[in-house]
């Protein structure tokens, strides 16, 4: 799967990242999860599907044929890459992080990010910072206005 991942990554447009691949060889299905610092439209995912299909890549890995699906990550998926934090500045996050020798949970608004540091604020702590290396899990809190 690492080789397939590398081959698919080379076909993605600039700024679009392959976050995960789920393969089901028994059903002949490949599902690619992509993300970008900017929103990805349905048109863009369709173009990615066509690019992969026209490359002949799936024929190489699945000579009997395979169903390909390209989709974006769900809103409930944790943030794992720095660009995802930049993308979500201004949103509330549910964070689990290391605080010395124990885990801590907190909800806070992400007000800024610079590749190593999350700049956050909430009612209890006011403005504060967390190092990205201390984040165990970060999820966007879905809010409906």
Q: Where are the domains of the chain?
A: 2-72, 82-140
Indicate the pTM of the whole model: 0.84
Question: Worst-scoring range by mean pLDDT, 25-29, 32-36, 39-43?
Answer: 25-29
pLDDT of residue 99: 84
> What are 121-140's pLDDT values in tens digits?
999 889 999 999 999 999 99
Question: Token digits for 99?
Answer: 């605080």
pLDDT of residue 79: 95
Buried b (16+ CB within 10 A) or exposed e, 98-111: eeeeeeeebebbbe
Banded pLDDT at 86 (limits 50, 70, 90): very high
pLDDT of residue 144: 80
Task: Give yes or no for a contact between 107 and 141, defined as CB atoms under 8 angstroms apart.
Answer: yes
Fold of 2-72: GMP Synthetase; Chain A, domain 3 (3.30.300)
Q: Tell whether domain 82-140 is in CATH 1.20.870.10.
A: no
Is residue 100 pLDDT above 90, yes or no?
no
Q: Rounded mean pLDDT of the chain?
A: 93
Banded pLDDT at 1 (limits 50, 70, 90): low
CA dist 99 to 16, 17, 74, 81, 105, Å? 33, 30, 28, 21, 10
CA dist 132 to 4, 9, 56, 85, Å? 29, 25, 39, 10
Instruction: Report the distance separating Cα 121 and Cα 64, nearest Å.
Output: 53
Average of pLDDT values for 4-16?
Answer: 94
Is residue 24 pLDDT above 90, yes or no?
no
Banded pLDDT at 143 (limits 50, 70, 90): confident
Residues present in the chain in total:
145
Is residue 49 pLDDT above 80, yes or no?
yes
């Amino acid at each position: 799967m690492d080789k397939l991942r590398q081959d698919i990554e080379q076909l993605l447009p600039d700024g679009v990242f392959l976050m995960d691949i789920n393969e089901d060889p028994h059903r002949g299905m490949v599902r690619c999860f992509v993300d970008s610092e900017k929103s990805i439209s349905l048109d863009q995912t369709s173009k990615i599907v066509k690019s992969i299909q026209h490359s002949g890549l799936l024929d190489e890995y699945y000579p009997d044929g395979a169903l390909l699906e390209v989709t974006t990550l769900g809103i409930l998926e944790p943030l794992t890459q720095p660009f995802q934090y930049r993308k979500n500045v201004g949103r509330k996050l549910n964070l689990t992080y290391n605080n010395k020798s124990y885990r801590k949970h907190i909800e806070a608004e992400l007000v800024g990010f610079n590749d190593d540091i999350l700049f956050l604020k909430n009612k209890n702590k006011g403005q504060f910072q967390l190092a990205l290396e201390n984040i165990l899990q970060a999820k966007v809190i879905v809010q409906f206005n």
